[in-house]
Structure 1
Amino acid sequence: MRVGYLGPKGSYSGEALFKLNFLTDFEAIEVSDFSTLFDMLQKRSLDCVIVPVENSIEGAVGIVLELMLKHDFIIQEETILQIQNALMALPGTRLNSIERVLSHPQPLLQCKNMISRLLPYAKVVSCPSTAEAARLASLDPKSAAIGSPKNAELYKLEILLSSISDEEYNFTRFFLLGRTNRSRTGHDKTSIACSTYRDKPGALFSILSEFAFRKINLTKIESRPSKRVLGDYIFFIDMMGHREDAHVKEALAALVDKTSFIKVFGSYPAFREKTV
């Protein structure tokens, strides 16, 4: 099985890949950007892909949610990775000599206050991944990268500062996407996206009441612009239960008449730490 992740080697996506329970025998394929990951899965060059979907500090990874809407892939599993952002550079580098700070946009946002305080004059440069940022920093004595401590090992960098996230609690949730539906395990989640009818009072309440009436626990609800009309939103909802559970099945059926659009991303085992 070929599984794609946002590379190069050493990225957080690569770390998350090895926390999955679903995969046991696979070949990890490095890909340079999210759009290419989804295109390769669409063309069957890959069997699955792992992608970050939300962070405890900065929220949703918008580009990934948009790509999930565009494609018809199924969530196979979720996993959660603790993010330990470190500042790294070539050995012997001093903070006052750093002119550029490189990282993926998410870690840059997660560490923005720390960067402003410690490196107020450095230019912040966005990179496709934390691992690519580390690779580039290994070639430039005036640059430093923010990423996993494993990046320092891979690219022979020195960790100048550890744990530089603005918030101590920093976790990222990942989805493994593929083509097959997962069977019920008894400890499942279901993820959907839907839109309400515009200018209809109580439209969102009407949707949420279907879950409340059936005592379905919603673990996430988030709105994002539909990009069609100002004020038009798509709601991303995660709930406990499998789509084949009777109460979840009933709720999803009820939403068909109450939404202008609904998409079920799949049902999958809720996160548990990987067992040895």
Structure 2
Amino acid sequence: MPHANPHETYSYLGPAGTFTEAALAQVPDAAGKTWHAVNNVGEALEDVVAGRSVAAMIAIENSVEGGVSATQDALASIPGLRIIGEYLVPVNFVLVARPGTMLAAVKVVNAHSVAYAQCHRWLERNLPTHGHIPASSNVAAAASLLDDPAGAADAAIAPPGITAHHDLDVLATDIGDNPNAVTRFVLVSRTVPTPPATGADKTSIIAELPSDQPGALLEMLEQFATRGVNLSLIESRPIGDTLGRYRFVIDLDGHILDERVADALLGLKRFSPKVIFLGSYPRADRVRTEVTHRYGNEVFVEARDWLRGLIAGEPEG
């Protein structure tokens, strides 16, 4: 990596032209700064932990396949990280090949595994006997066609606009199975103080169950349900130490400074042997979280004040 100012360097999954770069372009503070392209999520987060970058942009969820497991596992295993923002990027793909290649001649397709999964119906319909070679990114998949003209891949799945970076023929456009597909990215920094609540916030955590017994997952979910906290994402990932042990990646509507969310996290901490707080941050869509009166901040404050009065011996009015 070049000797750039780490306070002005942002890491992202490269090379130039990826959807991750498009997400980073949405960050006002990153404009005019150094953008460092890396090969995988782990490398991007290690840049942050080591102080080589002020933050890293990584994909965490897409609307077709759900959570990005590599990101979820990295956030669970690398300490000292905090999500400070989320960004949405509409996603579609083109199929590209070396100049002169015909679609009928394509036998092997190079593509990032997430993009490949989002195009599988088109591929099965149009290239039913094709093979797949995984790539670190879709731009890298496309570039490899020119870097290795005798390589095994005949074509690659790439983002629209790839021909602005590489001399390739576009064999097909809009090959994504879902024209409304969106990938959610998060900007990750070292641990920082939590910003104020905006009213349109999301909180991300990772939690483990205390035991593999009947009702354990239900008991964990009750920590949120009884406090009116909606979960917008919950996915299980294997912890890896033995079969049957899982951690849960959870996104919830609200901010840690919201009384209902804080109370739910306290309940979760009493219940779970390990809770990782990944951050509270503004929602990308800026949609405000609506809650009924019984879960409003003032209700929790009034309940605590009532209890304080009982302990102090104040007369009940």
TM-score normalised by the shorter chain: which range applies? Answer: over 0.9
TM alignment of 1:147-166, pairs within 5 A: 147-166=158-177
Alignment gaps of 5+ in structure 2:
1-7, 287-317
Q: In the alignment, is residue 74 of structure 1 matched against residue 82 of structure 2?
A: yes
| Residue 22 of structure 1, CA deviation | 5.6
CA contact (8 A) 1:149 1:159 kept: no
Distance 2:128 2:201 in 1: 45
C-alpha separation in 2, matches of 1:213 and 1:25: 46
Bigger Rg, structure 1 or 2: 2
Give secondary structure in 2 for the equivalent of 1:257. Answer: helix
Q: Aligned residues, how many?
A: 273
Q: In 2, Cα distance between the equivalents of 1:152 and 1:123? A: 23
- Report the CA distance between 1:136 and its aligned residue: 1.1
Residue 250 of structure 1 pairs with residue 263 of structure 2: yes
How far apart are residue 45 of structure 1 and its match? Answer: 0.8
List, as ranges, runs of 4+ consecutive aligned residues in structure 1 with deviation greater than 3 Å.
20-25
Matched, 1:235 2:243: no
Matched to 1:162, the amino acid is: T
1:42 is matched by which residue type in structure 2?
Answer: V
- Equivalence for 1:36: 43
2:145 to 134, 137, 147: 137
**Contact 2:10–2:30 (CA under 8 A) maintained in structure 1:** no
**TM-score with structure 2 setting the length:** 0.81
1: distance between equivalents of 2:33 and 2:245?
Answer: 41
Of 85, 97, 100, which residue of structure 2 is paired with 1:89? Answer: 97
Q: 2:63 & 2:146 partners in 1: Cα distance?
A: 29
Per-residue CA deviations over 1:167-226 (Å, capped at 9, x if unaligned) read 333211111100223332221110001011213332222222222222112111111111
CA displacement 1:101-159 (0-9 Å, x = unmatched): 11111111111232233223433111110111111123438621101112122112222
**Equivalents in 1 of 2:11, 2:248: separation in Å?**
27
* TM-score where L is the length of structure 1: 0.92
| Farther off after superposition, 48-57 or 97-106 | 97-106
CA RMSD, 1 decimal: 1.8
2: distance between equivalents of 1:120 and 1:199? 42
The 3 A distance-change label for structure 1 pair 199 and 263 is same
Give 2:53's match in structure 1, choosing from 26, 46, 50.
Answer: 46
Greater displacement, 118-127 / 61-70:
118-127
1:205 partner amino acid:
L
Ranges in structure 1 where 5+ consecutive residues have no aligned partner: none
In the superposition, relative to structure 1, how do residues 83 and 90 fare at CA in structure 2: closer, same or farther (>3 Å)? same
Show the counterpart of 1:59: 66
Query: Sequence identity of aligned pairs in percent?
Result: 31
Question: Is 2:216 aligned against 1:216?
Answer: no
For residue 265 of structure 1, report the CA deviation from its aligned partner.
0.4
* Partner SS for 2:161: helix
More helix by share: 2
Tell me, in whole angstroms, the C-alpha distance in 1 between the residues paired with 2:277 and 2:17: 32
Deviations for 1:220-241, whole angstroms, at most 9, x for unmatched residues? Answer: 1111111122111111111111
CA distance in 2, matches of 1:235, 1:246: 23
